[in-house]
Structures are given as C-alpha cells and as structure tokens.
Amino acid sequence: MDQYSVLKQYFGHDEFRPGQKPLIEALLSGRDVLGVMPTGAGKSACYQVPAMLLPGMTLVISPLISLMKDQVTALEEAGVPAACLNSSQPEDQYQQVMRNAINGRYKILYVAPERLPTAGISYLTQNAEISLIAVDEAHCVSQWGQDFRPSYLKIADFIASLPVRPVVGAFTATATAQVKEDVAGLLGLRDPLCITTGFDRPNLYFGVARPRDKERYIEEYILDHPGKSGIVYCATRRTVESVCRELRGVGIQATRYHAGLDPEEREKNQEDFVYDKSRVMVATNAFGMGIDKSNVSFVLHYNMPKNLESYYQEAGRAGRDGEPAECILLFSLGDIQTAQYFIRNTHDNDELTPEQRAEVERRDGQRLDAMVTYCKTTRCLRSVMLEYFGEQTSGKCGHCSNCNSEMVETDITTEAQKILSGVARVEKRWPGGLGEVAVVQMLRGSRDQNTLKRGLDSLPTYGILRDVPQQRLRQYFDALEEQGYLINTKGEYPVLHLGAKAVDVLFHGQKVQMTERLAPGSREAQAGRRQSSKKRTERASALPDEGLIGALKAERSRLAQKNKVPAYIIFNNLTLDAMAQQKPRTMGDFMRLPGVGDAKAHKYGKEFLRCIAQYCAGHPDE
C-alpha cells in the first residue's frame, strides 16, 4: 500500500492538498518536518497517512483532551485503530489503552504533553515501537507564540529519552518567522523540511464592524442566519454570561464556555455544541485550540483579541469543511484597554526572569499594535493579515468588509490642521504629551473636570472642533495616525505627538485625504448593495439542490444520534454537497465522492443511497 492508497481508503480523497505530499514523503524517508498550514488545510493527514505506512505506532502530542477525543472518533469512523491517553479517563480504561498500545493494537496514540514525564508513558515507550512523533499545535513551545505552554519545553527531553529516536513532525496553523525558528530549535528537529503553505482561507469572509450596541448586533446577525452554527468569542467571563443570557432570551439555542465553570459543565456544554444540540457557543478563548467541529458557519468576536495570531486561529475555526463562512470582529476603543490589561496581568510562565517577562510584554505590545491596525484600517483586511504573516498579496481580495464597501476619499485638510495645531499647543505646554482622550476633549470644548484642571480651556485651540461628533473626530485621528501625521506612543499610558509630516500640513499647504466608507443611505452605497445582492443570487443559483441537502442532513443527524458521534464526523458539508450535485445511484458512484473512504462507505453508504433515491423519486422534475 502506498500513500495514495491510504489517502483514498481511509480518508476518501484522490489527491493531496498543497504541502501535504512533500511533508508525508519526508516523514516516510526518515526526515523531520515543520509544517505551517492554515486551519482546515489538512495538517492531520500529514502525520496520519505516514502512520498507516510506517511500522509500529505513531505518538501524537496534543494539548487538549477535547481535540484528542474528536481526532480519535474521526479516525475510528475512518477505520484507523487509534486511542488517546489523558487525565479524564478512569484508571481501568487508561490501563486498558496502555495494554493495547504495548500489544501493538493502535497505529495512532494521542497523549497530552503533561503526561510525557510519567512512569506509565516511560514504560510504554520502552516496550512499544514508536516510529513517528507528531507534535500538534507546535507553536505552544515558543514563549514568543500566542499560546505558550511550559509543558511543551519538555518534549525535546522526552524524545531524547527514547530507546530509538523516531522521525519527528511539528505542525501548527500560526507561526511567524521567530516562532518557526523557536519550534525547530526547542523541539530539537534535525535538518527539518520546513513548509509553509500559505495562510489564506479563501472561503472565509473577514469583516470589522463598530456597532453602538454589540449585543444587539450579535442577536440580529444570528437571527438572520437561521440553522447556522457559530462561535461568539468574548474577552471576559462576565461578557460571556451576559451575551449567552441575551441570546437565550430571544430564543437562540446558545451555550457557554469559560474557565469559571466546573469541568463537568464545560465538557457538557462543549459536547452540546459539537453534537449540534446548541447551535451557538459563547466563550472566552478558554474554548481554545483544536476545536474540530467542521460545520462552524460564523465566528463573531465581541471583543478584539490581543494579537492577530490569536484572531487568525480563533476565526479559523469557521469553515473547516470548506464551505463559505464569516468572521466578524466587533471593535470599540475600549477593547484596546482590555487587551492591554490582559497583557500586563496575564503570565503563563512563572519561570521567566524579570528581563524575559519585560521582553514578552514588549513583543505582546507590538502584536497588539498590529491587531489595532487591522481593526482600524480601510485597506483590504485579508491583505493586512496575510502581510503580517509574511505573505505577498495583490492588495484587494474582494471578499472582506473593506473590499466590499464603497470607499471614498474625503478631504480633511482643514480638520487635520486644527487637530495638529491642537496637539502642537499641548506639546508646548506639556512636552511629555497628553493622551488622545484629553486632546479630543480639548478640541471639542469639554467642560469635564480633567480638562479644566489642566487648563486646556485656555488654549487657543480649545473648542475649535466642538461641532464635530466624537466618533467622527476619532476617525480623523485614526487617519492622521495611519498616514504618519500623528504619533500615538504605546505602552500603559500612550500620548500623542506630532509626526515628522505634520509640518507640511501646518505650514506648507499639504492636503490630507481620508479613505472612508460611503454612508449606508447614499446612492452609491445602495448601488453597491444591489451589485452584491446580484452576485449572491448568481452564487445561489450554482448551489446544489437545497431540498436534497436538507434530506441528507436529516439522514446524517439520524445516523449521528444512532452511532453517538458528531454529525460532521460522519460526512462534512462538502461531501453532502457533492452527494446532492452528483446524486450517486450505485455504491461505486458513492465511493468516488470526496471524503468517502472504505470504512464509511461500508457503514453508511446504503442509508445515504436510499435517501437520495427516495428524494429523487419524490421530486422527478428536479
């Protein structure tokens, strides 16, 4: 059997995705690998296919129990002998898995990094043939990564302790150049083949919104997407509770997940979401890595995450089945202060020296700056994100809220001159500078206590923009900062200073333009929406038979309940789409569908063929 036979027999695919084949071939030849592939690009197959071809067993080091369970269930459904070892198992079950592993009954065994130093794992590795070690979520080994876990630092010592060093593969969805260097060094990879397949997820729509009422926005969004499953991420437990309560209050089947719940409730709520009993999960980032539910149609962020790595990973839990999905971030200025608070007060590694901790906070601050830029920019959101990860882009994707909005160039020279003049007056009196809030209040003629106490009401620029709404004024500040006319220092107490280009505006007649979205009611914006509606209609006409899709999903749900597995593990939505388009009549036709391997065809083929035949008989005109 070769790698193509394994791919077809167990996973139901005829071709490898980009990056998979060279990584698989390197592992089979005995060479270590480092694979950086976006969520949904097929990282798991890069070690699961070699596992079926190499002698002995593959050990997969994975950080989350929920991820292990999902992966093992999916592999068992595909006919692959697999199991996991974790702290949630009863002792008798744990020992049974250990015996089976030593006796060679598994091809793939998942284990958490925290269990590697235990006597049980040591006994296992001394008595079982380990041909391959796969480190999933490998970025966790780097303290410069967004999910650093000290337990990952012990993986290299564990590998060195094995009687025979197996080939090692490290895999992650998010890694900057610094993190990739750390992964290779800290895991002790030997001359690894390093492949980064690209971070773009074309099926995902990215958007940033600034609603006045975030909870109402989320309610309306979910109500406008009936039957769709999604995740709402919030920065705090209190917000999770509030949003979940509001969603339930309008009849939405929502559940919650955060570290303040007891483990039993967290596990139950996660299972309710995975098994489609609750269609919306409201969670903090404790609902983390490795959520393998493939039919997530949207991910909404109530608050801005601390960095683009976290946002990319969390948003990337949408559309894992390849179907169109939406990732919307709701941004407000308060999110910046919340993120700064978490950076200053959250430390995952108590072993860091004060110098190391200061460096981590500095880098966290830089990553936060990039996240804020993403939220404020009028450029293509996809381009901003991909360029952050080191990829070249065309500059306009046509599939994000900025590209899909009608943009106009507005001359704000007069307003810019007033703002920059105000900052100059402040700098003259306070060389250290004042924060943006103080300057805005001064320009708008505020009579608040701080403004009067500082004597800002005595400046010539006091109140010169009193007729400009505060939110509009903030837009001007963002545009001036983005173009280099203003500098907003970073840190715990940021202040404003004039940028080097400000002198050209103040004294040399330099014009200033601001790119902004057209007002929703404008004629141009309405024309743009009509064009978008036309495109959606054209796309809808190319979709498979929705009636048959509904029947197939109902059959999948019935089989999922019968077999006590999540519906997406039986077949994902892409496979159901292919069934609805091709309408197979024979088992041979059925087995040629993408995602249909031998084990699943044998187990479920007759039921789905019967479902298709019954639907077609009842709808002969279609």
CA distance 93 to 98: 9
Identify the three-state secondary structure at position 581.
helix
Element (H, E) at 169: strand 167-172
Which residue has better confidence, 282 or 176? 282
pLDDT in tens, 116-170: 988 889 999 999 999 999 999 898 888 766 677 888 989 999 999 999 999 999 9
Q: Of all residues in the chain, what percent carry a pLDDT higher than 90?
A: 57
Q: Which is nearest to 35 in space by CA: 246, 154, 259, 189?
A: 189
- Predicted pLDDT at 194: 95
Q: pLDDT above 70 covers what percent of the chain? A: 92
Under 8 Å CB-to-CB from 472, ≥6 apart: which residues?
A: none
Q: Give the burial string for 515-553 (b: 16+ CB within 10 Å, else e).
A: ebbbeeeeeebeebeeeeeeeeeeeeeeebbeebbebbb
Please report the pLDDT score of residue 521 as a whole number. Answer: 45
Degrees (nearest 5) of the Cα angle 528, 533, 537? 150
User: Quick one: pLDDT at residue 534?
Assistant: 44
Q: Looking at residues 441-464, what average pLDDT do you find? A: 92
pTM above 0.85, yes or no: no
> What's the CA gap between 324 and 386, in Å, rounded?
19
- Least confident among 33-37, 296-300, 399-403, 521-525: 521-525
Domains and CATH numbers, the chain: 3-196 (3.40.50.300), 204-404 (3.40.50.300), 408-517 (1.10.10.10), 546-618 (1.10.150.80)
Q: State the number of CA atoms in the 13 A half-sphere of 588 facing the CB.
A: 0
Q: What is the mean pLDDT of residues 223-234?
A: 93
CA 622 – CA 218 distance, rounded (Å) = 37
Q: What is the pLDDT of residues 238-256, one digit of tens each?
A: 999 999 999 999 999 999 9
Whether the per-residue pLDDT at 523 is higher than 70: the answer is no
Of the candidates 391, 389, 336, 345, the one whose C-alpha atom is nearest the C-alpha of residue 139 is: 389
The pLDDT value given to residue 65: 76
Upper half-sphere CA count for residue 21 (Cβ side, 13 Å) = 8
Question: Which pLDDT value is given to residue 138?
Answer: 92
pLDDT tens for 492-519 read: 678 899 998 999 999 988 999 998 876 5
Instruction: Convert the pLDDT of each residue in 360-379 to its tens digit.
Output: 788 888 889 899 999 988 88
- Of 103, 112, 110, 63, nearest in space to 84 by CA: 110
522 pLDDT band, cuts 50/70/90, is very low
